[in-house]
Amino acid sequence: MRLAQKRSERIGLWLVSAFMLILAASTIYPIFFTISTALKSTREFIRHGFSIPTAPTFEKFVTAWTTIKLDAYFMNSAIVTVIGVTLVLLVSSLAGYALAQMRFRFRKAIYFFLLSGLMIPVQVVMVPLFRIIVELGMLNSRVGLGILYGAFFSPFGIYLTSSYFASIPRELSEAAKVDGASYWQIYRLIMLPLARPVLITLGILTTLSCWNDVLLSLLVLQDDRTLMVGIASLRGEYGADIPLVAACVVIGAAPVIAIFLIFQKKILGGIMVGSVKG
């Protein structure tokens, strides 16, 4: 189909395109501006706030990494993200397999009960959750925060994995059972390899959720900080040193931007599947 047939339509489309270009520039510009600011010294930023850095320097990155202890925060974020993602992958692949491929009482009820988790926002359970965190000795514990991520992000994972496992014919595991395989072996040797694509997507999306989280992290780690909370707290102490703040932002965003550029298709595909259910 030729999109624009008449001259007036063609002009209209170019106008739309121009508007969309401005919009695209406005999504890219803040990131570009932040990176260029991070590469400036404080003095250069004050003198030439908007030009491209004339003498790019990594001085602010070094300060951010060492003086502000961003290295420790980065490590914290990496640890809680790894624990959270591992837990989500394990818990949702097990539950997704059972819910989609096995027959047992209350199967449907359990499925909908778990999915209702998608409808409970963190804020709503924040108050009692804090008490549970304290009682279970999870306060200020990175492992504890990782477990919380596992609890909060696995309902989406269960939805994703169970709808994937449901598309695998049950005859496959029946045949393996006849050959003497245990349920664990079927899960480990047949289901997990088959589910690889969906598990990769789930892993990436969960990585983004854990890495970007603020609310749970503020709740659990009160003495220590994750990277996002560390960046959020710059406002007070270092707020005046704009290039330094910008450098911290670049450090915090670099991993997710890298993930986006590498796995763009997987991320967008996963969000599309997830958005169908909400």
Partner 1 sequence: MRNERVVAYLFVLPALGLFLVFRFFPLVAGSVYAFTDWNGIADARWIGLANFRELIFDPVFRDTMRNTAWVILSLPIWVGLPLLLAVFIHLGVPGAPFFRAAYFFPIVLSSIIIGTMFSIIMRFDGSLNQLFILLGLEPVDWLGDQRFALISVVSVAIWAHFGMNVLIFLSGLSAVPPEIIDAARVDGANLWQVIFRIIIPMLRPIVEFVAVITMITVVTSMFGLIYIMTGGGPGTATYMPEFLIWLMQGESNRLGYAAAMSIVLFAFVGCIGVVQIRMMRREWE
What residues between 26 and 65 interact with partner 1 by CB under 8 A?
26-28, 30-31, 33-34, 37, 49-50
- Which is nearer to partner 1, 75 or 183 (by Cβ)? 183
Q: What span, in angstroms and rounded, lies between the C-alpha atoms of 114 and 90?
A: 15
Q: Which of residues 139-158 bind partner 1 (CB under 8 A)?
A: 147-148, 150-152, 154-155, 158
By CB under 8 A, the residues from 75 to 104 that bind partner 1 are: 87, 90-92, 94-95, 97-99, 102-104
Measured in Å, how far apart are the chain's first and last C-alpha atoms?
33
Q: Does 253 bind partner 1 (CB under 8 A)?
A: yes
| Amino acid making up residue 14 | W
Give yes or no for residue 271 binding partner 1 (CB under 8 A): yes
Give 75 or 269: the residue with its C-beta nearer to partner 1: 269
Distance, in Å, from the CA atom of 165 to the CA atom of 96, rounded to the nearest integer, reads: 7
Return the residue of 55, 108, 123, 167 that touches partner 1, per CB under 8 A. Answer: 123
Q: Is 120 in the site for partner 1 (CB under 8 A)?
A: yes
Residue ranges in 191-250 that form contacts with partner 1 under rule CB under 8 A: 208, 211-215, 218, 228-229, 231-232, 234-235, 242, 245-246, 248-249
Query: With CB under 8 A as the contact rule, which of the stretches 51-59, 62-70, 163-171, 253-261 interacts with partner 1?
Result: 253-261
Of 71, 130, 170, 262, the one binding partner 1 by CB under 8 A: 130
Shortest distance (Å) from residue 257 CB to partner 1: 7
